[in-house]
């Protein structure tokens, strides 16, 4: 091995000195420019217009997504595992949020058809926290009947046809049709005397109904003295609270009408917003509110 030593500094000519100086000035402007460009990414966050509905388990406070942005490594593994392609990555207009996952519920909500919260399991950095076990533990937001005037149920109207038009590409899992593969909403027409799509398609409500059926089947089996042979479903335990139901109210003109009412069990998955068949959804997800019991 030989010694590495710095040689003597050679004397430099005037022109060399000048070009060195130019290079220094150029480098300073260059550095300032790029740092400023990267810092500009904070603008959407400061202005608060980068807030979005996030995938299940996103570590964030209401009005404060800093931890989520910081911990996300922007790789999109959550995008890749979602069976209904609900998760998208934010664009550069969201500044430092570029590459961070979000859900546009109206376009495609999370219907938990993966059962096991695949996005949470795929996240390599814990930006979607592993503290979450079941859909009912999720706290993405909270549904709100935004425009009662347009709600079909409140007008006493039914619904016939495909919920979002034939060109709509959104997917939902309909257990009675295919337990394992979500299908297009446009391939599944409804014929309802009173529109209750937001309640009918709520993943939490569907799960509660399934659980009740399993329970009664188990009880019947017990009563008839046979061994219970009912398949247990794992990874999707029974939600302890209802999320939405139709409630009767008296309108001002003295008529009794049914209205979808959001309950404590709502996790903010967005399926109600997605399936609402009127042009502007009557029910939407409020990302600044979550149920205040249990959950993550």
Partner 1 sequence: MKYFIESFSQVFGNNPARPAKDDQSEELKEIYKNKKLTKEDFENIDHRSHVLGKWQKRRWITLILVNFLFLVSYKFDVQLLEGAMTASRFVGFHMADLNSALQVMLAYKHVVLNLVIGTATIFIMWLLLGGRAFCSWACPYHLLSELAEFLHLWLVKKKIIKNHTFHRKTRSVFYVTFALLALLSGYTIFETISPTGIVSRAIIYGPGVALIWVGALILFEVFYSRRAWCRYVCPIGVTYAAVGSVSPLRVTYDATDCHHEGDCRKVCLVPHVLDLTIKGKAHTVEQDITADCTRCGMCIDICPTDSLNFKFKGLDKFL
Sign for the pseudo-dihedral over CA of 202, 207, 208, 213: positive
Among residues 12, 16, 17, 93, the one that binds partner 1 under rule CB under 8 A: 93
Q: Does 72 bind partner 1 (CB under 8 A)?
A: yes
Q: Does 96 bind partner 1 (CB under 8 A)?
A: yes
9 CB burial (10 A radius; 0-12, 13-18, 19+): exposed
Among residues 17, 26, 169, 220, the one that binds partner 1 under rule CB under 8 A: 26
Structure tokens at 153: 């149920």
Q: Does 293 bind partner 1 (CB under 8 A)?
A: no
Q: Does 99 bind partner 1 (CB under 8 A)?
A: yes
Q: Does 249 bind partner 1 (CB under 8 A)?
A: no
Q: What count of other Cβ atoms lies within 10 Å of the Cβ of residue 156?
A: 14
Q: Does 98 bind partner 1 (CB under 8 A)?
A: yes
Bridge partners, residue 249, by sequence? 257
Query: Cβ of residue 141: shortest distance to partner 1, in angstroms?
Result: 22
Q: Which stretch binds partner 1 (CB under 8 A): 68-76, 192-200, 210-218, 246-254?
A: 68-76
Q: Does 116 bind partner 1 (CB under 8 A)?
A: no
Bridge partners, residue 261, by sequence? 245
Q: Does 6 bind partner 1 (CB under 8 A)?
A: yes
Q: Is 217 helix (H, G, I), strand (E, B) or coil?
A: helix
Structure tokens at 119: 């996005």
Return d(Cα 164, Cα 186) in angstroms, integer.
7
Query: Cβ of residue 138: shortest distance to partner 1, in angstroms?
Result: 19
Q: Which stretch binds partner 1 (CB under 8 A): 65-73, 152-160, 232-240, 286-294?
A: 65-73
Among residues 12, 18, 62, 125, the one that binds partner 1 under rule CB under 8 A: 125
Q: Which stretch binds partner 1 (CB under 8 A): 33-41, 180-188, 219-227, 250-258?
A: 33-41
Return d(Cα 165, Cα 211) in angstroms, integer.
32
DSSP 79-142: HHH-TT--EEE--GGGGGGTT-EEE-TTT-----TTSS-HHHHH-SSSSB-TT--SGGG--S-E
Residue ranges of the alpha helices (H) in 225-283? 271-275
Return d(Cα 291, Cα 274) in angstroms, integer.
20
Q: Does 242 bind partner 1 (CB under 8 A)?
A: no
Query: Cβ of residue 34: shortest distance to partner 1, in angstroms?
Result: 6
Q: Does 177 bind partner 1 (CB under 8 A)?
A: no
Q: Does 75 bind partner 1 (CB under 8 A)?
A: yes
Query: Cβ of residue 280: shortest distance to partner 1, in angstroms?
Result: 27
Closest CA to 244 of 193, 204, 274: 204
Bridge partners, residue 224, by sequence? none
Return d(Cα 99, Cα 122) in angstroms, integer.
16
Among residues 84, 122, 136, 276, the one that binds partner 1 under rule CB under 8 A: 122
Q: Does 80 bind partner 1 (CB under 8 A)?
A: yes
Judged by the rule CB under 8 A, the positions of this chain that interact with partner 1 are 1-7, 23-24, 26-27, 30-31, 34-35, 37-39, 41-42, 45, 66-67, 69-77, 79-81, 89, 91-93, 95-96, 98-99, 122, 124-126, 130
């Amino acid at each position: 091995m030989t010694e590495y030593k710095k040689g003597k500094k050679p004397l430099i000519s005037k022109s060399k000195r000048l070009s060195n100086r130019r290079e220094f000035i150029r480098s300073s402007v260059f550095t300032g420019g790029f740092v400023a460009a990267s810092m500009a990414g904070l603008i959407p966050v400061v202005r608060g217009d980068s807030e979005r509905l996030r995938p299940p388990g996103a570590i964030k406070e209401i009005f404060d997504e800093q931890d989520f942005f910081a911990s996300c490594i922007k790789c999109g593994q959550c995008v890749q595992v979602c069976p209904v392609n609900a998760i998208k990555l934010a664009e550069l207009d969201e500044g430092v949020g570029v590459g961070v996952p979000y859900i546009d519920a109206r376009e495609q909500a999370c219907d938990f058809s993966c059962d096991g919260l695949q996005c949470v399991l795929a996240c390599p950095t814990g930006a979607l926290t592993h503290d979450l076990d079941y859909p009912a533990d999720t706290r993405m937001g909270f549904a709100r009947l935004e425009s009662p005037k347009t709600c079909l149920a409140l007008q006493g109207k039914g619904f016939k046809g495909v919920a979002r038009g034939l060109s709509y590409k959104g997917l939902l899992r309909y257990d009675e049709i295919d337990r394992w593969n979500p299908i297009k909403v446009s391939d599944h027409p409804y014929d309802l005397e009173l529109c209750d799509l937001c309640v009918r398609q709520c993943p939490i409500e569907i799960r509660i109904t399934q659980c009740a059926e399993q329970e009664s089947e188990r009880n019947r089996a017990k009563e008839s003295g046979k061994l219970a042979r009912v398949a247990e479903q794992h990874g999707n335990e029974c939600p302890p609270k209802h999320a939405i139901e139709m409630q009767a109210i008296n309108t001002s003109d003295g008529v009794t009408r049914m209205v979808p009412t959001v309950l404590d069990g709502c996790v903010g998955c967005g399926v109600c917003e997605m399936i609402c068949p009127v042009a502007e959804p009557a029910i939407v997800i409020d990302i600044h509110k979550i149920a205040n019991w249990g959950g993550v």
